[in-house]
Amino acid sequence: MMSIKSRILLASAASLFTLSACNADESAKNATPASNGAAAATVNGTAISKNRVEMLVKQRTGMGQPDNAETRKSIIDQLAMQLLVSQEALKKGLDKNPEVMDQIDLTRQSILANAFVQDYIKNNPVSDDMLKSEYDKIKAQMTGSEYKARHILVEKEAEAKDIIAKLKKDLKAFDKLAKEKSKDPGSKGQGGDLGWFDVRSMVPEFGAAVTKLGKGKFTEEPVKTQFGYHVIMLEDSRPMQAPSFEQVKPGLAQQVQQQNLKKLVDDMKAKAKIEIKDAPATAAAPAK
């Protein structure tokens, strides 16, 4: 049950490209006859460039692996096996196979497209002024109140009613009952604490019940939602508070950059001549 303010300010635009480099295809491009010590290894006299090894070291360290002798040996072993197998594929003439040729061409296009994206990001940084302007627009949309509440989620209405009866006798038992009875794994360990949230981020039935409660009060009837039956206690409410600019700046920068990149690609598409061959026919409308 994520707060809508986090969704609005931190949601990144969907990635424009799903791109990945294919090590096997690229190994052949980076394999050259052994010469002048530029090789990290050779396979049947063909060199594996140090540049390729360094590129993969950078990729792996970016994923949290250490840059040590073991990592480098693993990379060189991997590249050597790829080169060896690709040499055998060339001997068999598989590089002339139309399907293989298509795959190689597609990988090349993907690498070039990714290079274009990285070049654009590098040469078109988003300024703080742009980010602050976007932040102010989003902040202005954040109106209303946010609430701090606890809840206990159970499967059956009778269970919820039993919990309500116990709370009427001892409201301080809420924390203990939530830890013992609640089926919500996200809040159970915190005694049902949901933190601060905008009711619009909750399912309608839950949100409506919260807004009707007074501070320190709980629902005296079970609240039914698609998840089960809830017993809700309101701890506090306040005017909506936006996260600080510094908190959301990294996510906002990514979002703005993606928006700018999408606009650029859309403009390129509008100017390009794109013809779709053999497009599937539109399904016929059902008879009335």
Domain carrying residue 208: 144-239
pLDDT one-digit tens code per residue, 31-63: 455 444 589 999 999 999 999 999 999 999 999
- Strand runs (DSSP E) across 123-192, as ranges? 145-154
Q: How high is the pLDDT of residue 28?
A: 42
pLDDT one-digit tens code per residue, 169-181: 999 999 999 999 9
Taking the C-alpha atoms of residue 279 and residue 287, their distance in angstroms, rounded to an integer, is 24
**Which tokens is 113 given?**
């497209």
Taking the C-alpha atoms of residue 231 and residue 223, their distance in angstroms, rounded to an integer, is 7
Residue 135, φ and ψ in degrees, nearest 5: -60, -45
205 and 154 share one domain: yes
**Residue 29 belongs to a domain:** yes
53 and 102 share one domain: yes
pLDDT above 70 for 22: no
Q: How high is the pLDDT of residue 285?
A: 57
pLDDT one-digit tens code per residue, 105-142: 999 999 999 999 999 999 999 999 999 999 999 888 88
Q: What is the dihedral of CA 66, 68, 73, 74, to 10 degrees?
A: -10
**Residue 248 belongs to a domain:** no
64 and 115 share one domain: yes
Q: Which residues contact 96 (CB under 8 A, 6 or more apart)?
A: none
114 and 32 share one domain: yes
